[in-house]
Amino acid sequence: MIRNDEQLHLAQEAVPNLQWVLAASRKVPPPAEYRAMSEPILLELRQREQEILVYLSSVEIELSVQ
């Protein structure tokens, strides 16, 4: 669960990295191996994207104490 903008930034950075791994991997193994390898990565990607959407749809505002 994303709780602040720093965690949001980290999740946003992870999304294109996961997409890149999937795209690069499509060219190497046979299709059956790719499906097996890609399943956990796709799950992680979906979870990150969902967490980002939940955080961005939240009306709570992060207050920093200085």
Q: pTM, whole model, 2 decimals?
A: 0.79
pLDDT single digits (tens) 41-52: 999 999 999 999
Cβ neighbours of residue 24 closer than 8 Å, sequence gap 6 or more: none
In this predicted structure, what is the pLDDT of residue 65?
Answer: 46
Q: Is the dihedral of CA 26, 28, 34, 36 positive or negative?
A: negative
Q: Domain residues of the chain, as ranges?
A: 5-57
pLDDT single digits (tens) 11-27: 999 999 999 999 999 88
